[in-house]
Structure 1
Amino acid sequence: MSLNLYHRYLNEKQQQPHSYARDLAAMLGVSEAELTAARVGHDAVRLADNPKAILAALADAGELKAITRNAQAVHEVTGAYLEQQLDGHVGLLLNPGGVDLRLFFSQWHSAFALCEETPRGPRHSLQFFNRHGEAVHKIYATAQTNMTVWQQLLTDFQSPESAPLALSPATPTQYANEVDTVRLEQEWRAMTDVHQFYLLLHRHRLSRQQAFNHVCDELAQRVDNQALPRLLEQLQQQANPIMIFVANSGCVQIFTGRVQEVSPLRGWLNIFNPNFTLHIKAEEIAESWITRKPTVDGIVTSLELFAADGTQIAQLFGQRQEGEPEQPIWREQLAQLLTTG
């Protein structure tokens, strides 16, 4: 089965040389993890399912490229895997302006190392998947990576090729059918930290959009889906620093800094900075919301983008340090999105 899938992959790749593995897997009717497993023995190696130890070993590898994506957004940051806190339920890499990650290890299920031949030479990567076969995080070596450390990692963590994936189908989250709008808004207004919003949603068994639709416009207000390109144009011109979050089931990746170059290309809206790249399928933004959440430092305002199936594509915030109020210019930029359409 794996050999047959591998040959089908080679044929599809020859027909679609510019398609990514995620897209090729979809064309072949399998998950990306299944396709990667079929490449073991060719250009892939199975690694031990021990992401905390693998990430810890990367602290000495120097420069790496971190990639976290979902179906509509790809977030790429180049930097070092330093300032790691991996002991808790949620792992942290705290490098604002660099590789800044929140890692939900309960979702990390399998790991592989790949060495792919490209016109520019071998491309080395570590790729991690959830139990549904979806990629949660990928790490690529760069020209500045310490390849001695990288190769030692492969030696230390290589797993038997026959290790089964044991994938399971994803099940949709069951949300509440009724909403106590009064209590929801009271608890929203009583928040003192933006992270409390996740607990609020959990208590009420609501999706983010359900919550947004059941509070007043002062807390959450829907805007036109051209909000993102208009906002990025302002950010490029005014050069105030922001934060961009892209997440999937197992990882949140954060960029902190200024937007330098914005470029639409073949249906993607792109940001190109020296050490940061963002790609968003602009046409697949189905809902855009401006939200306001109370904190001990004042209101924190964000732009949140969603796909048609309700999954979150990305979040954007004004950069701020804990203990500081939000940037006035950021609030003004989002306020302008409410008056244009």
Structure 2
Amino acid sequence: MNAYYQRYLTLKAEHTNKFARDLATMIGISEAELCYARIGADAKPFSTDFAALLKELHKVGETMNIVRNEYAVHEQAGQYDNVKLGNHGGLVLNPRALDQRLFVSKWVSSFYIKEMTKRGEKESIQIFDAYGDAILKIYMTDNTNRQEWDALVAQFVMESLDQFLVSPHEHISENLLFDAKKIEEEWRAMTDVHQFFNLLNRHNVTRQQAFSSVSDTLACQVDNSALSEILNLALNDGNEIMIFIGNRGCVQIFTGVIEKLMPKDNWLNIFNPKFTMHLMEDQIAETWVTRKPTKEGYVTSLELFAKDGTQIAQLYGQRTEGDLEQETWRNQIDAVALKAKVA
């Protein structure tokens, strides 16, 4: 039994409320390295032919899919229908169900885990990036087709892994020499919200740098209480919203009505039958209201960032491509922005 796995078992017994991610941090290794240490016990290496895996996943039916970053967790039950893959990424396009944006070029390793938890035995496929951070975890549920799941696991599981390495996180220095006037001009000239990503790349700036460089009519910093306020407004008004939470390899999107909002300690929690969100409200360092032009008019979002620059989450009103922005959402954002604007 290797030392990391032994330490994991000890910590797991001492801290029954901690997840594998937390235990890996306590050990001083990445979560992927912990999975590697568990091989031969409750883990097996899994194929890194991710395109083939994504094409086969629809056969198993419903899964619970967990995407997270350091500050927020997005759990969505759904099926891998309508998977569309390109050279560097792809989509799982099922609005109001399983809706993902996949950056598969960032996916490096994966493991099949079969473990005992407080809620019984759990089986999952867990995918990690080059730094050993979790990109996506796919769990079997009571509604998963058992036969097809077993066949999928048999197809992609590997009995051994000859070599396993993770890379240290790199510090990326910010570009401090950019043309704010040009950013604003190009921002106002956009005709689709997806063009914003290209704008950032052209100028080699972060989202927050772009927000800070333009007029308040395009991006306005507001108080960090704005998230709680907007979620309560959406809960009370019953309008559909969109919640984007992701990491460098996957973004998962909820679209729908908030059914149950439960703040607890420093966490904002949403509990819907097929969707759950957990977000650390006290880790929000900056909150921005942004307005991006499209052919159909401006689209408004609420964007949340941690102190280290991580984008924690992004929220929109539900909007079908080609439609005008939802008026209820715009009114909610305007009310929150007016009340919570940062001087």
| Structure 1 residue 60, shift from structure 2 partner | 0.8
Amino acid at match of 1:337: V
How do 1:101-140 and structure 2 match up within 5 A? 101-140=100-139
User: Using the alignment, how far apart are the partners of 2:8 and 2:55 within structure 1?
Assistant: 33
Cα contact 1:12–1:24 (8 A) shared by 2:
yes
Q: Deviations over 1:87-107 (max 9, x none)?
A: 432211000011101110110
Q: Deviations over 1:40-87 (max 9, x none)?
A: 110111011112212222111011101100000000011111111124
Amino acid at match of 1:327: Q
How do 1:13-28 and structure 2 match up within 5 A? 13-28=12-27
Q: Secondary structure at the match of 1:237?
A: helix
Corresponding residue number in structure 2 for 1:290? 289
Amino acid at match of 1:131: A
Corresponding residue number in structure 2 for 1:254? 253
| Structure 1 residue 160, shift from structure 2 partner | 3.8
Corresponding residue number in structure 2 for 1:244? 243
User: Using the alignment, how far apart are the partners of 1:276 and 1:120 within structure 2?
Assistant: 18
User: Using the alignment, how far apart are the partners of 1:163 and 1:54 within structure 2?
Assistant: 21
Q: Secondary structure at the match of 1:264?
A: coil
Amino acid at match of 1:137: L
Cα contact 1:51–1:111 (8 A) shared by 2:
no
| Structure 1 residue 266, shift from structure 2 partner | 2.9
Corresponding residue number in structure 1 for 2:149? 150
Q: Secondary structure at the match of 1:209?
A: helix
Q: Deviations over 1:218-266 (max 9, x none)?
A: 0000000000011111000001111110010100100111111100113
Question: Percent identity at matched positions?
Answer: 48
Amino acid at match of 2:65: A
| Structure 1 residue 168, shift from structure 2 partner | 1.1
User: Using the alignment, how far apart are the partners of 1:3 and 1:122 within structure 2?
Assistant: 23
Q: Deviations over 1:183-235 (max 9, x none)?
A: 11000000011111010001111000011111010000000000001111100
User: Using the alignment, how far apart are the partners of 2:27 and 2:118 within structure 1?
Assistant: 24
Q: Secondary structure at the match of 1:234?
A: helix
Corresponding residue number in structure 2 for 1:44? 43
Q: Secondary structure at the match of 1:89?
A: coil
Amino acid at match of 2:62: E
Q: Secondary structure at the match of 1:75?
A: strand
Amino acid at match of 2:186: E
User: Using the alignment, how far apart are the partners of 1:314 and 1:48 within structure 2?
Assistant: 30
Corresponding residue number in structure 2 for 1:167? 166
Name which of structure 1's ranges 147-156 and 185-194 shifts more when overlaid on structure 2: 147-156
Cα contact 1:21–1:32 (8 A) shared by 2:
yes
User: Using the alignment, how far apart are the partners of 1:338 and 1:243 within structure 2?
Assistant: 18
User: Using the alignment, how far apart are the partners of 1:158 and 1:278 within structure 2?
Assistant: 30
User: Using the alignment, how far apart are the partners of 2:90 and 2:8 within structure 1?
Assistant: 34
| Structure 1 residue 268, shift from structure 2 partner | 0.9
Structure 2, unaligned runs of 5 or more: none
| Structure 1 residue 121, shift from structure 2 partner | 2.3
Corresponding residue number in structure 1 for 2:305? 306
Q: Secondary structure at the match of 2:2?
A: helix
Q: Secondary structure at the match of 1:55?
A: helix
User: Using the alignment, how far apart are the partners of 1:81 and 1:268 within structure 2?
Assistant: 29
Corresponding residue number in structure 2 for 1:219? 218
**Does residue 232 of structure 2 align to residue 233 of structure 1?**
yes
User: Using the alignment, how far apart are the partners of 2:255 and 2:178 within structure 1?
Assistant: 35
- What TM-score does the superposition give when structure 1 sets the normalisation length? 0.97
- What TM-score does the superposition give when structure 2 sets the normalisation length? 0.97
Cα contact 1:69–1:248 (8 A) shared by 2:
yes
User: Using the alignment, how far apart are the partners of 2:2 and 2:191 within structure 1?
Assistant: 55
User: Using the alignment, how far apart are the partners of 1:340 and 1:298 within structure 2?
Assistant: 24
| Structure 1 residue 165, shift from structure 2 partner | 2.1
| Structure 1 residue 156, shift from structure 2 partner | 1.1
Cα contact 1:107–1:131 (8 A) shared by 2:
yes
Cα contact 1:58–1:149 (8 A) shared by 2:
no
Structure 1, unaligned runs of 5 or more: none
Q: Secondary structure at the match of 2:261?
A: strand
Corresponding residue number in structure 2 for 1:177? 176
Corresponding residue number in structure 1 for 2:266? 267
| Structure 1 residue 339, shift from structure 2 partner | 2.4
Amino acid at match of 2:101: R
Paired residue total: 340
| Structure 1 residue 312, shift from structure 2 partner | 0.1
| Structure 1 residue 154, shift from structure 2 partner | 1.6
Name which of structure 1's ranges 320-329 and 160-169 shifts more when overlaid on structure 2: 160-169
Name which of structure 1's ranges 168-177 and 87-96 shifts more when overlaid on structure 2: 168-177
Q: Secondary structure at the match of 1:279?
A: strand
Q: Deviations over 1:282-339 (max 9, x none)?
A: 0000000000000111100000000000110000001111111101111110111122
